[in-house]
Amino acid sequence: MKRLLVFALLFSAAVALFVDPIHGQNSSSPPTRTAVFAGGCFWCIQPAFDKAKGVIKTVVGYSGGTEPNPTYQLVSSEKTGYRESIEITYDSTRISYDQLLDIYWRQIDPTQADGQFTDIGPSYRAAIFYNGTEEKKIAEASKEKLARSGKFGVLFKEKTWQ
């Protein structure tokens, strides 16, 4: 049976850069940004990001659904569209979005359509929740770089992501 890449690239409405609305970027604090990724169990991918230099904090939760106030019980019903996700707040002068993507790709199997590893179901499917056209371009370039690497063979190239 042929394995196909089922991977979502989704727009996120999350704020990408926290700026003081009156004075602009606070010069005494680092220029922080956020990135949101889904990749199976959020607690499984969280440690890799927590260890990365430049990551300020990580928070696990749910992204991609429409129900207000999602709970584990609601999300695990697999009827909400939510995916277990991690929000990463990072200092963009110390680590780039592209570097975060490199960490992300090492945590998942992008060819697994039904979840990640032993975590099976829609709430465990991989996704990058990009914030704006620049992040989308970087994410797509990162995916193409991985596809060209041959790590996942021809199967990775056969199916495009959403």
The catalytically annotated residue of 10, 14, 41, 146 is: 41
- 8 A C-beta contact, residue 162 and residue 8: yes
Q: Does 41 participate in catalysis according to the annotation?
A: yes
**CA nearest neighbour of 86 among 14, 161, 160:** 14
C-alpha triplet 36, 40, 98: angle, nearest 5°: 40
Element (H, E) at 133: helix 133-149
- 31 close to 91: Cβ distance less than 8 angstroms: yes
Side chain identity at residue 96, one-letter code: S
Q: Which of the residues are catalytic?
A: 41
